[in-house]
Structure 1
Amino acid sequence: MPPIVRCPAEPYGGGWHGAPDDAHRPDARVDWLRFAPVQPVFRARAAQRLAVLAYHGVTDPRSFGAQLDRLRRLATPVSLGAVLQAVTERRPLPARSVLVTFDDADRSVLTHALPALNARGIPAAAFVISELIGTERPFWWHEADFLARHGGRARSLDCGHPSQLLPRLKAMPDPDRRRSLHELRVSADRRPPRQEQLSPADLRALRDGGVAIGNHTQGHPCLGRCDDATVRAEITGAHEDLTRWLGEPPIAFAYPDGGHDPRAEAVLQELGYRLGFLSDHRLGPRLPSHPLQISRLQVDSTTSTRRFDTILSGLEPAYLRWRGQPMA
């Protein structure tokens, strides 16, 4: 059995599951941080750190464009290749370096993010759930939410309020999660709507447009709830798929549960991966000391400009840790 670890709570500002919910955004609660007396101190310190931004989809192209414009003014956007070069040559990245990344890689990365990035000459990286590529299947967390709201039931999910569904699923051992999803599918009154996913050709278009493609496992389980064989299969299966589609092996991985898993790191080392990314809402060193454990900042395309600044400076992450905000 794998060690018992905590799966991440639903992250603030959209999180790694589902569409953003404006009614639950913390922007209004933390916007004031931009005017805090310590913000200039944090901004100065951040200039000597690496900020890796972890987006999901782009639901607000206009706001996302404004964020990219701000990056061009305040930061030095870098590519995944530049981070790899820094690690290889043991030479720190430039001051104020920022890498833009996307997890899950829904179609908005192609339709909204890529044009905005290209218009500003900003590179990025997208981490792909391989079993969804070329399909019309929804992300499993979207599917579970829809099924539960349309009569779906599972023996292990009799937990009352619908808001508890995803935390319960994420906390289950992976076989139980899969079994519960099957029960939801069998018992629901309706099937979830189709969701067009990226195709292999779309992945190549992203790569050719300056968005590096990385591994995000086959099915996006919580790795800490998987046995050793499943951890290996999830990583190697996606690795083989991406190598076949792209004609070259990926060299970067994003942990789908946000937190580091030593068994996953061992598999990544065997496969020749050079970079691995967490979702811990932290800045990292300009020369990553643990290349397979690089910190990232959680951000969303709808994040307000004021909050975006405090995320980049590291002030909001520090404040949320001080407040005891759950993080991956």
Structure 2
Amino acid sequence: MSEARVPVLMYHSVAAEPNDATRTLSVTPEAFAEQLAAIAERGLTPLTTADLAARWRTGRPLPGRPVLITFDDGYEGVHRHALPALAGHGFPATLFVSTGWLRGAHDTGGGLDTMLDWRQVRELADVGVEIGGHSHSHPQLDRLDDARLCAELTRCRDIVADELGALPLSFAYPYGYSSRRVRTAVREHGFAQALAVGNSLARRAQGPFALRRVTVRRTTDTAEFERLLDGRAIARTFARDRALTKGYAMVRRTRQLPRLV
């Protein structure tokens, strides 16, 4: 039997009028509603990140056509626009929050647009949205020294636990960047699984701390979205992204060396 390949959809902002900082990685409320309708019409079964990872970890079977709906950062439109659409279909999702970006007691002022507050995050959690960690201040974690890396993970984990009454189980790397050192630290801070980007389908063989996602953005039309769900032509769809990512990764490694020796 071939290994299951699962589309893990990565969203950011859901907004009619996003600002320039979030525009590219935003989707309109109408597009998001249409994409959820496509998931329902194609008979896919949404899972949370924790559910997918637990099934792979224990060998429990997956539903016939699983899919994950995930959001990064914590933009207010997830509550305003995405939540009603998710509730209309009865779909679960996972929200990865950068705790220092959310409005309220822990706000460091770094949010790129209007962010959720903790009341809204609790309302999302109460209706079955899994709340995961996404660091505290959204840095490139693999460029931090050990002390700053530990501080980012500890603050994120502890703030989510204090605000929601339960430790977060899942994590998403800011910008998708990680390393063996970062993945080890995420595991040692109590997270059971973590998502990268990669723009390919998730497979059990990737390991629980390097599961890949596909990016949904403002330019993703209906045909492209359906290809993402079916796992068709993903390499071609994201070919330019991969080339840019590979080039930037080389630059980052060069800049990183003096910081970590």
Same fold (TM over 0.5): yes
The aligned residue for residue 181 of structure 2 is 263
Q: Greater Rg, structure 1 or structure 2?
A: 1
1:251 is displaced (CA, Å) by: 0.4
The aligned residue for residue 113 of structure 1 is 82
1:139 is displaced (CA, Å) by: 4.2
Mapped to 1, the partners of 2:205 and 2:81 lie a distance apart of 30
4+ residue segments displaced more than 3 Å: 135-140, 320-325
The aligned residue for residue 222 of structure 2 is 305
**Residues 1:55 and 2:11 aligned together:** yes
The aligned residue for residue 41 of structure 2 is 73
Give the secondary structure class of the aligned counterpart of 1:98. strand
Give the secondary structure class of the aligned counterpart of 1:253. strand
Contact 2:142–2:182, Cα closer than 8 Å, also in 1: no
Amino acid at match of 1:120: H
TM-score, length basis structure 1: 0.64
Structure 1 vs Structure 2 CA RMSD? 2.3
Give the secondary structure class of the aligned counterpart of 1:267. helix
The aligned residue for residue 223 of structure 1 is 141
Give the secondary structure class of the aligned counterpart of 1:297. strand
| Residues 289/121 of structure 1: CA separation in 2 closer, same or farther (3 Å cut) | same
State the identity as a percent: 34
Gaps of 5+ in 1: 1-44, 143-194
Contact 2:50–2:169, Cα closer than 8 Å, also in 1: no
Q: 1:295 pairs with 209, 212, 237, which one?
A: 212
1:313 is displaced (CA, Å) by: 2.8
Which is worse superposed, 75-84 or 221-230?
75-84
1:260 is displaced (CA, Å) by: 2.6
Q: How does 1:76-225 map to 2 (within 5 A)?
A: 76-135=45-104, 139=110, 142=112, 195-225=113-143
TM-score, length basis structure 2: 0.80
Give the secondary structure class of the aligned counterpart of 2:6. strand
1:85 is displaced (CA, Å) by: 2.8
Mapped to 1, the partners of 2:53 and 2:232 lie a distance apart of 27
| Residues 322/205 of structure 1: CA separation in 2 closer, same or farther (3 Å cut) | closer
The aligned residue for residue 191 of structure 2 is 273
Contact 1:231–1:263, Cα closer than 8 Å, also in 2: no
Higher RCO (C-alpha under 8 Å, 6+ residues apart):
1
Mapped to 2, the partners of 1:103 and 1:322 lie a distance apart of 22
Contact 1:281–1:327, Cα closer than 8 Å, also in 2: no
1:319 is displaced (CA, Å) by: 1.0
Give the secondary structure class of the aligned counterpart of 2:171. strand
Contact 1:58–1:301, Cα closer than 8 Å, also in 2: no
Gaps of 5+ in 2: 16-27, 247-261
